[in-house]
Structure 1
């Protein structure tokens, strides 16, 4: 994926998986001073992002969602087991809980696993 704008959109989606991000918020994340054509530019980049995702691996483009109604915007459906940040966060939380219970040896193993993500 060569476009820095598409990478930024994908990053925004991955930081809030399964949640809609509105056009205004995306524009504010992409540009210090969004152009008047921001909405059209974002829609074009979303089309290209879908194409890029399918070129990398067929199928994921259908997971770029368009939300309508009260939750209007765009987002990416990602399950926790597909996303390393979610896996890292869960493992780090488990390791921290083990440490708080005084179980240092098991905690070390769990935290090493978190770092592997």
Structure 2
């Protein structure tokens, strides 16, 4: 219940909305459970936040629930703000400030979103979207590291994403660019070959032209084109994510 309310901090949720976030099929005891959760949360939160219940029709009617706290006091809202600011600075060509903002954003995380909270499919979808934003921030941070010449750190961050999400092309592109920056040209070739085999085996397709462009520029030792292609890959990725 706290997860459902915190992810909507400052917004009233109707009883039915909250029930759908907590259970795919609410049990017969759902109403009693809500009252019990409410009492326990008020005790646990203390003065940290006001957990309010409001009823329509002068005290009668359907209840609504509200975690009355400033969004900035919830890690999720703070992360979203910092990550967006970091992305804007990266797009503006300021990798130093971008890296600082993104580091602050990612330091708020302690594991996958809602890892210890059982939830319905609806709440899980919202938490999965938050996890996706975290991966985007890691990739933005890794690209900022490439632009700062911190190639080993960039490669480490890209590899960490690939280990759990091997079909994220942008991470493969960042890894190739980082290896190129380290003048490890043989690894650039082998990494692209690994990505190529993986995409064909898992999806039955070749990597996108964006990833091929980063690899091709690295193989022709065209540094300026590597960075341009990496930027184009980011821009196209972000455009696709907004569709």
TM range (shorter): 0.7 to 0.9
Q: Which residue of structure 1 aligns with residue 19 of structure 2?
A: 27
Structure with greater contact order relative to length (CA < 8 Å, sep ≥ 6): 1
> Which TM-score applies when normalising by structure 1?
0.74
**Counterparts in 2 of 1:80 and 1:32: CA distance versus 1, 3 Å:** closer
Contact 1:23 1:42 in 2 (8 A): no
**In the alignment, is residue 68 of structure 1 matched against residue 60 of structure 2?**
no
Q: Mean Cα displacement is larger for which, 33-42 or 64-73? A: 64-73
Contact 2:14 2:63 in 1 (8 A): yes
Determine the C-alpha separation between the residues in 1 that align with 2:23 and 2:102: 37
Contact 2:82 2:102 in 1 (8 A): yes
How far did residue 31 of structure 1 move?
2.6
How far did residue 72 of structure 1 move?
4.5
> Which TM-score applies when normalising by structure 2?
0.39
- Secondary structure in 2 matching 1:36: coil
Q: Which residue of structure 1 aligns with residue 75 of structure 2?
A: 84
Structure number with larger C-alpha Rg: 2
Q: Which residue of structure 1 aligns with residue 40 of structure 2?
A: 48
Q: Which residue of structure 2 aligns with residue 102 of structure 1?
A: 93
Q: Mean Cα displacement is larger for which, 78-87 or 14-23? A: 78-87
Contact 2:82 2:105 in 1 (8 A): yes
**In the alignment, is residue 38 of structure 1 matched against residue 26 of structure 2?**
no
How far did residue 114 of structure 1 move?
1.6
Contact 2:10 2:69 in 1 (8 A): yes
Determine the C-alpha separation between the residues in 1 that align with 2:16 and 2:52: 16
Q: Which residue of structure 1 aligns with residue 4 of structure 2?
A: 12
Contact 2:10 2:71 in 1 (8 A): no
- Secondary structure in 2 matching 1:32: coil
